A = this chain, B = another copy of it.
Amino acid sequence: MRRVRLEDVAKHAGVSMKTVSNVVHDYPHVSPATREKVQRALDELGYRPNALARRLATGRTGILALAFSDVTIPYFSELARTVSRAAAARGYRLLLEQTDGTLEGEREIVSTREAGLVDGVIFQPTAMSSLEIAQHRQDIPLVLLGEQTAPIGVDHVMIDNVAAASVATEQLIRLGRRRIGFVGHESAGLTATSSVRLMGYQRALESAGIPLDMSLLLPSDAISSRESEVAVARAIDAGLQFDALVCRDDLAAIGALRALQLHDIAVPDAVAVVGWDDVPMASFTYPSLTTIAPAMEQLATTALDLLEERIAGYDGVGRHRVTDFSLVVRESAPDPA
């Protein structure tokens, strides 16, 4: 069953290849008679265009890559879904690239040994520094996501993490909490994400005149529910007193919740908890999680806008866009009565 080519259709309809191509693409200047004749040939032969060839000829593939560490991290699943939808709406398809958060994996993304396959890349780095990105990067349209600062010449979209962390912390302060811990930042090699969130947390405490107590920082060995559960459990066992927790992300919050429950500590009465990301699960934990919700659609749209401009040829300085967030209030840290 040989593939039907444009030429076959052309022969069948008795016109030139280009005319067939014009019909396929709804090019306006084709006479109705020809159009109909060609269309019939198209149908009879069951022609399906070869995407590859078309793309070689036009130079654009219609494929974008979305790269991050791991799709099973709920925030990234959400990101993948949202970007995939938004991309589809613009006629692009999405290549999924996982880096496992390793330097090698991330280098591979940025230095793309093969050209041409992908029109552009949206990339949320974990391990790579801005400097390294600048060094390895090829001349493929690139938009960076996340808290990492971007190299000159590279576009970047993020939410204002410092502000968001402050908002989260303030919610706890409004509840009258004073011994507010921070959970889930890396114990070694703080990521950019954790560090800006910590900064916002500190800032909110300062503004409220609450002195920073270093013992309330509960780092964990890795970004996972497991590790933050361990960290919180250890703190409780060590007799640490606290009445609220700001968590680096919802995964950390979920781990924290579990540690508190295992120790029969009531949430939010004894300890209030806020998370970050508003992952789907945040509604279904018990109690459900108050959390920072990034405006995901807006983020995806903004990133795609920038990327499309790059693809279209914009080659100026890197743009920096800040997208919105909101605090979703649920059971784990309700509004004050």
Contact = CB atoms under 8 A, between A and B. Distances in A.
Contacts of A301: none
Interface in A129-143: 138-139
A238 interface: no
B84 A78 contact: no
A51 B95 contact: no
Given A3-B115, A77-B71, A255 B284 contact: yes
A114 B48 contact: yes
A25 interface: no
Interface string A32-64: 000000000000000011111101100001010
A90 to B, nearest CB: 15
A77 B281 CA distance: 14
Q: For the side of the interface on A, what is the size category? A: 35 or more
B48 A112 contact: yes
A176 interface: no
Given A52-B52, A52-B116, A77-B77, 4 more contacts: A52-B56, A71-B80, A285-B285, A286-B286
Interface stretch (A151-159, A163-171, A190-198, A256-264): A256-264
A113 B48 CA distance: 6
Nearest to A62: B117
A21 interface: no
Contacts of A139: 1
Contacts of A226: 283-284
Interface in A251-284: 254-255, 257-258, 261-262, 280-281, 283-284
- 4 closest residue pairs by CB, A with B: A51-B117, A50-B116, A51-B114, A225-B284
9 contacts: A48-B114, A52-B55, A52-B117, A53-B116, A56-B56, A63-B95, A74-B77, A258-B284, A286-B286
A93 B97 contact: yes
Nearest to A83: B96
A98 B117 contact: no
Given A96-B95, A286-B261, A72 B77 contact: yes
A229 interface: yes
Interface string A218-247: 000000011001000000000000000000
Contacts of A116: 50-53
Given A72-B81, A81-B72, A139-B1, A52 B48 contact: no
